[in-house]
Amino acid sequence: YCFFFLMIRRPPRSTQSRSSAASDVYKRQLLILRKDKLLQPIILKNMEAHQKRNSQTAIMFSIAMAFLMFAGTALRLQGSVISDNLKLTLGSDLLVQVFTNDAIGLREKELRQFMASFTQQYPDMIRDYSFMTFDMEDLPVQDRVFLSPLCQFPRARSRLVGVEENFLNSIYDEFYLPGAYDPDISEYGELQNSGKDDGVRGLFVNDGLQSYGGDKDSKNVVARASMREKSIESSQTLDEIKIIVAEGLKIGLSLDIGVPALITSQQNNTYRAKIRHLIKKVPGVPFSQYQQVQFYSRTLVSMQEYYVLAENLWREAEEPILQQQITEYKQSIPDGSTYGVAKDKMFIMYGRETSENERAQLQNGLKNFINIDTTMVFDTYQLVIDTERLLLFLELALVLIGFIAIVLTFFLLLVSFINNIMENVWEYGILRAVGLTTLNMQKLYIYEALSLTLASGVLGCCIGMGIAALIASQFALFTELPLSVDAPWILLGSTFALGILTSVFA
C-alpha cells in the first residue's frame, strides 16, 4: 500500500547555504511504501546532506517546467484571443456589410429570396440569418442622438440601430454576455445554441409598457421646468420606446432596468424609452460593461420603432432643401426593404461544419446582389481557420522547444543523480556496513530522486500556471470574456514522466 507523505521541515542552520537560491525551501515530498517507512529518517538526512546539489537540480527542473507551462499557455491564449476577437468584431460566420455612409443599403428582398432558395438546397447548413440597419446618425438630416435619464442629465451620444427578433440566433451567441433583464416580461425564450435567455425578444413585446393616453404629461410626472415641459411637449409619440443598452451605462449615465430614459435628437425632440435589457458583451455590436462605453455606445431598438423614430425626426425638418434630401433618400432605398428602412449588415450563422466549396457557393450567390464597390463580405469562419493554421507553426515551434527542454532535463537529472552517487559512495558504504541491504540502498536513492523530481516539477508547474493565469486575466480584463487557461498538458506530462523515469532508472 502506498501513501503520499508531505513533510515541511526546516533543516538545521548548519546545513543551510546562504548562497543557494533554494536554501529557504524546506519542503520534502516522499512517496513511500508503508513497509519502507523506517527508511524515512535516513532519506531526510541524505536530502539535508545533498541540499546544495539537489537545490541546483530542483531550480533547473522547476524553471524548465515553469517555462513550458507559461510558453504553451501564452501561445494558446494568444491564438484564442485572436479568434475570439474576430468573432466578437464581425459577429457571425458570414457578414455582409455596407461601408459607405451615403450608400442606399443592402438589396434585402433579393438577398432574402436567394437565402430561401439556398436553404432549400442545403437545409441544414444555415442556422439563421438577420439584418441590421444603419446607425440613425447616418441617415440624412440626422446629426446626433442622445440618451439620458428622465432628468436629462447626464446624457451621452448614442448610436441607434434597428435589429430583428432573431438577431441573437444569427450571431456567435456563446460570446453573448447578458446583464439584467426587465422583470415585466414573463418569458424571454431561449437561444438555440447556448440556451441563454433571448434578451432581444424584449424589444418585440409590450409587457409592462406605460401609455399616456395621447395627453401631454397627463399625470404631471415631469417637473415644471420650462425646458423639460417644452421637451416633452415636442414629442411625437408618448408610448415608451423599447431599448437595449450596454451594461456600462449603469455607471456612466445612471441608466438601469426600471429607470425611465429619454432619447433626444439634435433638434431637441425627446422620446420616452424603457430599458428592456442590459448587455455586457454581444458580437457584432460594440457593447461593454465599462463606463467608458458611454462615449461610443450603441442602443438597440426594433426595426419598427427605428422607422417610427426616423419618421418623427424627419417630420421636424421644415426647410425645403432638407425635405428634398429626405425624399431622395427614401426613393433610393431598395424596393422590398422591410419597414421601409435601409439595411447596413447581414449576419449569417452556419448550422454545421461546412466545406470550402459550400461556403464559396454561398458567397458567390450573395455577391450577385451586392455592390462590390461599397459592400464587403467577411468570411469569419474561414478567417478563424486561417488563423489557426498560422498558429500551428507556433505550436510546432513550441513542440520543438519542448523537445529540447525534455532532452536537457533528462541529461540534467541523469548527471545530477549519477554525481550524487559517485560523490557519496562512502555514505552508502557506511550504510551497507550498518546492515542496509542492496535493495534498501536502491530505495534510498529512488525515494530521494523521486522526492526531488516531484517537488520541483509541481513547484514549476504551479509557478508557470500562476504567471499564465495572470496574463490570461489581463487579456480577459480588456476583452471582457470569461477567463480561460489552456495549458499544454501533453507536453508537460511528457516532461514530467521523463523526469520520473530518469529518477527511477538512472
- Kindly report, residue by residue over 413-433, the tens digit of the pLDDT: 777 777 767 776 777 777 777
pLDDT tens digits, one per residue of 252-262: 899 999 999 99
- The whole-angstrom distance between residue 379's C-alpha and the CA centroid of its chain comes to 20
Which residue would you say has higher pLDDT here, 106 or 30? 106
Q: Is the pLDDT of residue 290 over 70?
A: yes
Which is more confident, 506 or 277?
277
pLDDT at 391 over 50: yes
- Mean predicted confidence (pLDDT) in 435-454: 80
Q: What DSSP line would sit under 191-222, residue for residue?
A: -TTT--B-GGGGGG--TT----TTSTTTT--S
Phi, psi (degrees; rounded to nearest 5) at 190: -105, 150
Comparing C-alpha atoms, which of 501, 499, 450 is closest to residue 39?
450
Whole-number percent of the chain with pLDDT over 90 = 35
What's the whole-number mean pLDDT along residues 105-115? 95
Q: For residue 31, what pLDDT is reported?
A: 47
- Mean per-residue pLDDT over the chain, rounded: 81
Quote the cell numbers at residue 293: 462605453
Residue 199 — pLDDT band, cuts 50, 70, 90?
Answer: very high
| Burial tier of 274 (Cβ tally within 10 Å: 0-12, 13-18, 19+) | buried
Give the mean pLDDT of 46-61: 78
**pTM, to two decimals:** 0.79
From the number of C-beta atoms within 10 Å of its C-beta (0-12, 13-18, 19+), residue 433 rates as: exposed
Q: Bigger pLDDT: 185 or 406?
A: 185
Specify the pLDDT at position 504.
Answer: 72
- pLDDT at residue 34, rounded to an integer: 60
**Confidence bin at 22 (pLDDT 50/70/90):** very low
Pick from 10-14, 113-117, 373-377 the range whose average pLDDT is largest: 113-117
Residue closest to 345 by CA, chosen among 330, 326, 366, 328: 366
Whether residue 268 is predicted with pLDDT greater than 50 in this model: the reply is yes
Distances (CA, A) of 66 to 392, 460, 499: 22, 4, 14
Specify which of 54-63, 155-164, 216-225 reaches the highest per-range mean pLDDT: 155-164
